[in-house]
Amino acid sequence: MELWQLDVMGGVKLKNGIQLSVVTGIDDHSRFCVIAKVIARATARPVCDALLEALNTYGIPEQILTDNGKVFTGRLGRKPATTIPDAHDVPVDRDVTMILNNGPLGFTLNGKGFPATAPIVVNQGNTLRIRYMNEGLQVHPMHLHGVPQKVIARDGHILPTAHWEDTVLVAPGQRIDVLVKATEPGTWALHCHILNHAESENGMFGMVTAMLVQ
């Protein structure tokens, strides 16, 4: 266990109207889930208890990344905790996870093949961070029409120098983070550039979706 990404997810609504939160923890390298604890309220005590339980079970990771640093660590020291900003925390308007796969369901983006894929809808001027994760057994070069993609991280590691690509090659098991600035209104196709993953004699299918800039 090297790097844990912790989060507190709110707004889990039960049928009877009660709202709950979930403390989640994922090890960045193994993608192993170390915490998935439902709590009544996301205050320091239950959140820290969930973290302590995970530390007792899995040992101490080298690093912990979280946007909720104070609630996780606030109770553990006498002084207020110092939180080091996460290099992933570039200001973005929207985070999009895009899971690429080629398995029993065919060529899919987030488990769906075109035309069932969900478009990414954004407002003009927004910056979005797309995290590609290739769960399949083939490479998938992802091309976004008309808009360059700024590659900022690979497999959870921030690149020393970000660079621009039109087509982002994602190998099996890889995770790649890109920033996209939605400057032009319109519908921009986003698809795998191995064309037989995206197009057949009957038209588009599989790894095709679109970014709709409003």
Residues that bind Cu ion (CB under 5 A): 140, 192, 194, 197
Q: Residue 152: which of 142, 163, 143 has the closest Cα?
A: 163
CB of 163 to Cu ion, least distance (A): 21
Q: Residue 6: which of 70, 76, 59, 57 has the closest Cα?
A: 70
| Residue 4 vs 132, nearer CB to Cu ion | 132
d(CA 199, CA 209): 12
Residues 70/85, Cβ–Cβ less than 8 Å: no
CB of 153 to Cu ion, least distance (A): 21
Q: Is 59 exposed, middle or buried (0-12, 13-18, 19+ CB in 10 A)?
A: exposed
| Residue 68 vs 138, nearer CB to Cu ion | 138
| Residue 3 vs 189, nearer CB to Cu ion | 189
| Residue 4 vs 107, nearer CB to Cu ion | 107
d(CA 85, CA 191): 33
| Residue 82 vs 202, nearer CB to Cu ion | 202
CB of 173 to Cu ion, least distance (A): 14
CB of 169 to Cu ion, least distance (A): 10
Residue 31 gets which letter from DSSP?
Answer: -
d(CA 128, CA 83): 24
Residues 95/131, Cβ–Cβ less than 8 Å: yes
CB of 121 to Cu ion, least distance (A): 23
